[in-house]
Chains A and B, each alone.
Chain A
Amino acid sequence: MLGLFSPASLLVALAIFVVADLVYAVDHYLVHHDAGRYRTTHGRHHRRYNARRAGEAHLDGYELSTYSTASFMMLCGGSVLGLFTGNPGFVLGAVVKYLHSLGFHLYQHRWWSDISVRQQGLGPPRRRWGLASARYHAFHHSHPNDPLFTYAETWAGWDRLLELAHPHLVRFTADARAGLDGDRYRPGSGGGHRAA
């Protein structure tokens, strides 16, 4: 078994972290193109942050359960790869991603207060390829259906790649399969800067 902080372990941990971020960004894109799943699950997140905070917890039980069970699934895969390769970096990457998700969630939500995120009028972030800041992702809360994708939590490049893939990818989404307007994010389609 390699050391937890050996170069090989840290490299694998970084790779797992990046892959997890991609998985989260893609699933975030997919849930926004699945009207049924959006209504019963993720839409709650946007409704919550676009209302006054009024003493609500920044991280409630529902969100903690979502982050924790998603991270547990990542940990499952990481633990098996670690078992079969002797590299604990697979587990380390999954754990670090979990901590990052919780920390990022709490940090970005500092905008949420008695003035809702939407009322604060956060302007659109620059369409960049660098790291996704908390301010960058916070824009997504107030503008969930904006053509400028801000789903990513770590590397904004995943959003740029999703924007490039979107015209092709959108045909495979649940909305498109259900015959709904799967391309409602297209600029000029009325989807931009629309309320949750």
Chain B
Amino acid sequence: VNWLGSNPRSLLGALLGAAFGCLVTGQLQRLGWELPLCVGVCAGLGCAASTTETNGMRGLVVGTLAAWAGAAAHVVYVARLPLWPGLARFHDDLSPLRLLLHTLSILLAILIGSASLRRESRARIVGS
């Protein structure tokens, strides 16, 4: 059984989407806007655009990717720390508002990453 509910193509789509979301977050940060939501939305859209299957477990994987990518974007563009030490201290930077925004980013990534943008999409059943 593949509990990931995903194939390499959809995960690559999510990865590219998350990377693009990080770049957008960096640009917005330069304008004074801190919006980690972009990472979750872009990761979800990248995944949903590259698959013809819908699957909730895959959404959880995309949500995890969005969480780490969002934290990485925060470390690089907001905290301006080296990546790994910054990630280890990411929790120290989580104000209630920031926590809310990152959580929303994850939830959107799960929601969008579970879906497919293709018209002919079908549900992927665990074990199929």
Contacts and interface: CB of A to CB of B under 8 A. Distances in A.
Interface of A: 1, 37, 40-41, 62, 65-66, 69-70, 72-73, 76-77, 79-80, 83-86
B82 interface: no
Interface stretch (B14-22, B28-36, B56-64): B56-64
B22 to A, nearest CB: 15
A68 B91 CA distance: 28
A63 B33 CA distance: 47
Contact of A83 (B4, B61, B67): B67
Given A69-B4, A76-B60, A76-B61, 13 more contacts: A37-B126, A40-B127, A41-B126, A65-B2, A66-B1, A73-B57, A73-B60, A80-B63, A80-B67, A83-B71, A83-B91, A85-B91, A86-B88
Nearest to B68: A83
A86 B91 contact: yes
A50 B99 CA distance: 50
A177 to B, nearest CB: 15
B57 A80 contact: no
B71 to A, nearest CB: 6
24 contacts: A1-B88, A1-B89, A1-B91, A40-B127, A41-B1, A41-B126, A69-B1, A70-B3, A72-B4, A73-B3, A73-B57, A76-B60, A77-B64, A79-B64, A80-B63, A80-B67, A83-B68, A83-B90, A83-B91, A84-B67, A84-B90, A84-B99, A84-B102, A85-B91
Interface string B65-80: 0011001000000000
Given A41-B126, A72-B3, A86 B92 contact: yes
A35 to B, nearest CB: 13
Contacts of A76: 60-61, 63-64
Contact of B3 (A1, A40, A66): A66
Residue of B3, B89, B92 with most partner-chain A CB within 10 A = B3
Residue of A72, A73, A76, A86 with most partner-chain B CB within 10 A = A76
B95 interface: no
